[in-house]
């Protein structure tokens, strides 16, 4: 799925705050909006090659969005809005669930809002999508920072099952070449515990990797999940 129309390369210089990055573009230091408020400390290292996209919003303070970064020889998409866009395309293709009759993004249920609510002739399903950018030793992990919101989503999805719905969590790993996915117990053990509990309660947990280019992101293959833990970052 093509996401960006005016991509150009640059060199990451600094991140003064979580919203702003300084990127060297042809010798000119440009202020860029960081489309990911996570820590991303293993990605945004001074001297790293990155890709930025020119915004079409004239009134913005920053002309560019920082969206893709090289980590070694691997491209990683760090745009936090991208996973829902590509997963919607994946849903519409029928590759995740066949014979979908209805898709509603941003569906509220109880006191939470989930990324998608879908229906088939016989099924009613809430789906929460989590974008993954953290990797160590070819193992993808989530989260990269403590997330009480993530725990609340897992608990809410378990309640959905009690009310007769299906519940799914899909980890969209925004890179390829991954061995498996694991909860990041080192950073937030409570999230890992909540994920295991949700799976035991019937929440379907899955992970997929992506083909990444400077201007596109496309879901590729299912990735094995290891709930027991992984390398740490």
**For 94-128, what is each residue's pLDDT tens digit?**
999 999 999 999 999 989 999 999 999 999 999 99
In b/e form, how buried is each residue of 31-49, taking b as 16+ CB within 10 angstroms? ebbbbbebbbeebbeeebe
In this predicted structure, what is the pLDDT of residue 10?
A: 98
Dihedral over alpha carbons 163, 189, 72, 9 (to 10 degrees):
60
Choose among 90, 233, 98: nearest CA to 170: 90
In b/e form, how buried is each residue of 172-181, taking b as 16+ CB within 10 angstroms? bbbbeebeeb
Instruction: For 3-22, write each residue's pLDDT tens digit.
Output: 999 999 999 999 999 999 99
- In angstroms, the first-to-last Cα distance of the chain is 29
Kindly report whether the global pTM for this prediction surpasses the value 0.75: yes
Considering only residues 205 and 56, tell me which one the structure prediction assigns the higher pLDDT.
Answer: 205
In b/e form, how buried is each residue of 59-70, taking b as 16+ CB within 10 angstroms? eeebbbbbbbbb
- 230 pLDDT above the threshold of 60: no
Contact of 101 with 13, CB cutoff 8 Å? no
- 232 pLDDT above the threshold of 80: no
Work out the percent of the chain whose per-residue pLDDT is above 90.
92
Backbone angles phi, psi at 200, to 5 degrees: -65, -30
Query: How many Å apart are CA 223 and CA 109, to the nearest integer?
Result: 28
In this predicted structure, what is the pLDDT of residue 229?
A: 59
* Diameter of the chain measured on Cα atoms: 58
- 134 pLDDT above the threshold of 50: yes
Instruction: For 69-83, write each residue's pLDDT tens digit.
Output: 999 999 999 999 999
Taking residues 126-153, report their average pLDDT: 96
Query: How many Å apart are CA 30 and CA 24, to the nearest integer?
Result: 6
Contact of 210 with 173, CB cutoff 8 Å? yes
């Amino acid at each position: 799925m093509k996401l960006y129309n005016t991509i150009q390369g640059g060199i990451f210089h600094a991140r003064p705050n979580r919203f702003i990055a300084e990127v060297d573009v042809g010798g000119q230091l440009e202020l860029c909006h960081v489309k990911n408020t996570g820590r991303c400390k293993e990605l945004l290292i001074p001297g790293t090659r990155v890709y930025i996209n020119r915004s079409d919003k004239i009134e913005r303070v920053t002309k560019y969005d920082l969206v893709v970064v090289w980590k070694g020889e691997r491209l990683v998409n760090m745009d936090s809005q991208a996973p829902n866009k590509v997963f919607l395309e994946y849903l519409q293709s029928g590759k995740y669930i066949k014979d979908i009759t209805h898709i509603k993004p941003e569906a509220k249920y109880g006191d939470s809002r989930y990324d998608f609510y879908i229906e088939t002739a016989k099924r009613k399903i809430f789906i929460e999508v989590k974008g993954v950018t953290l990797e160590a030793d070819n193992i993808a992990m989530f989260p990269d920072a403590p997330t009480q919101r993530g725990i609340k989503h897992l608990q809410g999805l378990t309640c959905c099952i009690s009310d007769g719905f299906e519940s799914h969590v899909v980890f969209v790993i925004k890179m390829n070449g991954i061995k498996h996915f694991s909860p990041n117990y080192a950073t937030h053990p409570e999230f890992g515990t909540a994920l295991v509990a949700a799976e035991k309660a019937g929440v379907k947990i899955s992970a997929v990797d992506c083909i990444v280019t400077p201007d596109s992101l496309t879901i590729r293959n299912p990735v094995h999940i290891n709930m027991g833990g992984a390398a740490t970052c």
